[in-house]
Each structure stands twice: as C-alpha cells, then as structure tokens.
Amino acid sequence: MNKKRITRSLMHIVFVMIFGIIGAFSVRSTSNAADDNEDKEIIDIDAPEPAVQEGGFLEEADTYDDSFEVDEEEKYYAKRLCEKIKAAWFAGEDSVDVEEFDIRLNESDDLLKLYASLVNDNPDYFFLEDDLRVEYYLKTNEIVTLNFVYSVEDKSTRMKMIQEYNEAIEYFKKGVNPTWTDMEKFVYIHDYLVRNCEYDVAKTMEHRYDTYGVLVEKKAVCQGYALAVNALANKLGLESHYVSSEEMNHGWNMVKINGKYYMMDVTWDDPTPDRLGRVDHYYMFKSMSFFNTDEGAHMADDIIVEGGVLPEEANDTKYDSYSFFNDIKIGFEYIDGKWYGLYSKDIAIHSLTCDGTDWKVDDVLIDLYDARWYDENGGYFLADLGGGYTSYDNILYYSDNESIYAYDPKDKNTQKVYELSEDEKKLGNICGLYKTDGNRLQYLLTKNLDIEDGIIKAIDIPEGDIDNGKPTAIISVGGIINHGLNAPGNVVYTNQSECKLTGIDDTGIHCMSYFVAEREYSEDELKLVDESSWTTQEGKQIIFDIANGEEGEYYVYGRAMDTSRNTSFASLGKVVIDKTAPIVYFIGKDVEKEDEARIYVYDDYFDKVYVNGQECEPDDGIVTITSSDEPYEIKVIDKAGNETVETINYQK
C-alpha cells in the first residue's frame, strides 16, 4: 500500500466513520470494563447492500469531505481498530475483541458501514461478507466482540484458498521489475489480468465478483477484474480506486500516474469471447471526458469513485488517442530491461522504452508484414490482428500462421521451435500464443479471427539454460553477517546503523531491496509485502542506514532478485540500534556500612561491568567498592558494544 496514503477510502473509514463510532477514541481502562460475568447477547446486523466483492455497487455515502479533520489520538485509535480487524482476518479468526473501543449497540449502523467499507477496501480478503454478528453486554449495550461472516465457512477450506491466492500473487510479482515507473507497472497489471482471466459470460462462477475468481480460478466479471486491479496495485505501491455505476451495471478503475488520474477498464479490454494472448488497450489511461462519449461508452449519471475522488478528476486527455495503446491488441512483454510490443504501424515486433510518461519505439526486431493469417473464405489478416507472442526465461516466442519461433534478445538470433503438422494446418492458423503457469506454450488454432471457435493446444517450452535457482541474499550490520532467513528469534545489538545487503547469483543480480519493519515476518508474508514498502536499487549491492540511523528496535529484511526474476530474502532477526553509552555514577559512601561506597551503573541493554579489570555482577545496578588509596577503574559495556570508563577515588 502506498506510504503516502492509507487509500482515500480507508482514510474515509478512519477519519469519518470511526470518528462517529468511537467518539473520542479513548481506550477504556480495566477498572471501567464491564464485569466478565455480566450477561451477553449475540445479534446479527445485516448490510443494507452487498459488498462490491459480492456483486454490490458503491453508494454516495462512500464519499467524504477532504476537509474533515480529527486529532492525532483519534487517528491512532481509528487505525488501530482497522488493523486489529484485518489482523484477525489474516489469521483466519472467527471473531475479534473490540471491547477496548467502547462501541455501543446504538452505533451498530455506523459500525456496519465502517466494516463494509473495510471489506471493499481490502480485496485480498475475498472470503468475507459484509454482514456482522455482534456480541454485546445486555446491561451497558457495549459491543464486546465482532463475529465475522465468511462466505467460505470451513476454515481448512478457507486457509487452503488463501494459500492458493497468495501463490497467485507471488506468481504475478515474479514478473515485476521493482524499478519500473508507475505507468509501466499499471501496463503490466492491465495486460496480466486480461491475458490470465476470462470474462464469465454465463455468470456461473461462485467467485466471479472477487479477486480469488480472477487470480486463482481465472474467470470473473467486472467487479472481480476491478478489485484485482486494486489488489495488485496495492502490492506495487500504486494508487487505484474502484469505480462503479449501477445504471451501467458495471465497475472499473481510476488510477493515478505522475500525479494525474486516468480511467482504466480492464474488463472491456478483455475480448469476449476470450482470445488466447489477446489484449486490447482501448480503455487504458483515458480521461473521463473520453469515457463520457459514445466512443468511450461509459455514460451514466451515477458514476461513483471509492474514497470520494470525483470522476472529473480524470481530466488529462494525453492518452485518449495514444497510438501505442489504441492500436495494439497483444500484451506487452518485458525482457531484461526492455519492453517488446507489436507496433501496428510497421506490422513488426519492436523493442520499446518507457520514461514513465511516454513510450518510444527503439528498434524493429521482427518484421511480420509479409506474414499472412488466412480465413476460411480465402481472405487474410496481418500480424496486428492474427499474430501472437509471449516470453519465458528472457526469450521472446512469437508465431506466424503455422510456426512458432524463439527470439533471443541477447544475441538477436531466431530459431523455429515448432511447426504445425499437416493435420493441424487443416484446422486453421496459429492465431494466439501465451505461456501457461506450468511454463508450456499454448497456441490457438482457428480459421476465424473474430470468433473463439478454434482449438487450444500446448507444447513444452524448448529445453535450454533455464534459470530456476534462487540467488543468495547476504545481510550484515556492525560486523554481524547472515545468509537468508535462518535467523528467526535472533537479536543483534549494534551501535552501527549502516547495513549492507549483497546478492550473489551465477546468472547475475538485477536489483537489491530492503524493508524495515516493526515486527517479524515469515517468508510467505514477505512475498506479499507491498512494493512501496521496499526500497530498491539496481545492482548487486545496496548500503543504507537503518531507519535513517535512529536508535530503536527494528526488523530489517533484504531481497535479492536475479536477472530471471528469481528472488530470495535475508534477515538478521531483530536489530537493536543503540548508540548511547552506559551511565556510571558515583553515589558515595554507604551510610549503613562505614568502609564501603556505591557506584550506580545503568544501560537499557546492559552487558558487563569490570572493576580494575575484573568482571563483577552489579546488585540491582549497584557496584560496591571499599576505601582504597588507589583509584578504581570502572568499565561498563552494553550489548551493542558501547562502553564507558570512569576513574573513581574513594578513601574513607
């Protein structure tokens, strides 16, 4: 999630709805809490309209006034309530204790609005409904527990689906270059969803409205597509808002690039019936003024953007007639620092670059103008309508009407890897190409480019030097070094805040990233951390100051990505940055013992004390010395290696 915002709709939840529920957001003290033995009752509160992920639409109430202000304490407790609910969702809990927030039963309508908005704003939790069961004290009407209503009731089934969903997110992120601009990331999201999901025309899929349907079952309707855009955008640190119109019975997205909003309708860019590898870009990065025309075809009087953004804020028209997008009907591919696309003006595959605002044609790599895709009536189409391409392991695969070729951008060599058999040629042309999750090449055979009436077949990707090995990530601070994530539970104390992260891989390191957290993360959790939380730098090494060198306790994670997008992680466990030297203070003569004096030693991370070179054990921070003609040398060392040496004279 973008660090600069919680998302505007979540801000709406935090700063408006919860304000009405929690009032002053004061946490109740234990002494004021209701008696645990007091009678309780459970009631159901039903949402007036279904959540977006259940097929619902946004309402005007989902907007808010930007000028609404609450103080910092209110923000803290509001955010705390939301985070506590989400933590329970993530853990698969059936309920969450909210007694500390002092919410009353007569505020349940506002609570339900909050909860429904929280469900809508977090599409990763596809297994939720926006209805609630609340447990409350009969005497005080104080709500004690929120009991969740799951659309997937069986916990083991739910946890299995969550694992499948997380694996799908990981597979998506494997194709991401963290150094991409926001525009490149949105193009990747757009093309990935169109090529990997099919519109559920029959509307028979149970999860057609949610992200599980899109990313795992790969069949959904517009709500699912749009929520998946939000979910993937959050993973990459991008700003995306859900847009809906009940009049149109439709949902899409409003995305932010370079400080400007644009409309993006992934659903309408996915051909229906579905075409293997085919991606339209006609409804990508358009202005609201374009959408609000016969050509844009999104004219309605009830268009609402989640979080209170106005549709008219999508007012930049730069890409309304942008030929790169409007004319290209196959997805873009990214291989080792370059984009590849079929630029239809030349009917050829080009290498492309993007500076974050504009796309530029670099080189013509594969001329397909003379290739012909014949239909059943003897006519033909050119590559911009009939061709296809995909990539795997830094190799670009493309086809003409009857053969599949492999192009290696490094040596610019092309070789034929498959040719249709005579029986296959009778079925039609190769009119689509895309790799499967299992890394096979699918191709579509058809005689009709306008109707999905062909046969999809698959071949194994030709064997070669495929890199499936993970790189090694090495992280170090203050002389402590660790490889990988084999340091759970470790605590590293250091007075050095400079951290070094290095990657090693036979095929080369593409980039290194680091992430500073307040808690310990498992490897599965790290794979799902939003890209905005990682700081990324190209090359095999990155050196940084932990939390800008501030003292404190941190969990520091490193990530190495090789040139084939394989990733690995490293951590030192908990890192305690302590730059403060211990305190040594001569208290003076012990009034109860005539010949003794006391020295006070203190440090938050105390380790050892030496008196004249001999280690001693302080008693509750007190070192006792006797009178002496010779001075005492007191040395105190903490766990971070800071030390203080004091010379103390004590004569009776």
Look at residue 608 in the predicted model and tell me its pLDDT: 94
Task: Express each pLDDT in 263-316 by its tens digit.
Answer: 999 999 999 888 888 899 999 999 999 999 999 999 999 999 988 899 999 999
H helices of 330-398, in order, are 383-386
3-state helix/strand/coil string of 93-149: CCEEECHHHCCEHHHHHHHHHHHHHHHHCCCCCCCEEEEEEEEEECCCCEEEEEEEE
Q: Which amino acid is at 448?
A: N
Look at residue 37 in the predicted model and tell me its pLDDT: 54
Closest by alpha carbon to 52, among 229, 223, 206?
Answer: 223
Which residues of the chain have a pLDDT value below 70?
A: 1-37, 60-71, 73-74, 344, 450-452, 463-468, 591, 652
φ, ψ for residue 191, nearest 5 deg: -70, -35
End-to-end CA distance of the chain: 66
CB 197 within 8 A of CB 214: yes
Between CA 18 and CA 363 the distance in angstroms is 55
Q: Which amino acid is at 394?
A: N
Task: Give whole-number Cα distances, 88 to 28, 82, 193, 530, 583, in Å.
Answer: 21, 10, 29, 19, 43
DSSP state of 214: I
Q: Which amino acid is at 548?
A: N
The residues that bridge with 506 in the sheet, in sequence order, are: none
φ, ψ for residue 75, nearest 5 deg: -60, -40
Tokens read off for 466: 């495929």
Length of the chain: 652
Between CA 564 and CA 562 the distance in angstroms is 5
DSSP string over 521-565: --HHHHHTS-GGGSEEEESSEEEEEGGGG--EEEEEEEEEEETT-
Whose tokens are 């997205």? That residue is 253
Task: Express each pLDDT in 108-122 by its tens digit.
Answer: 888 888 888 888 889
- Other C-beta atoms lying within 10 Å of the C-beta of residue 374: 16
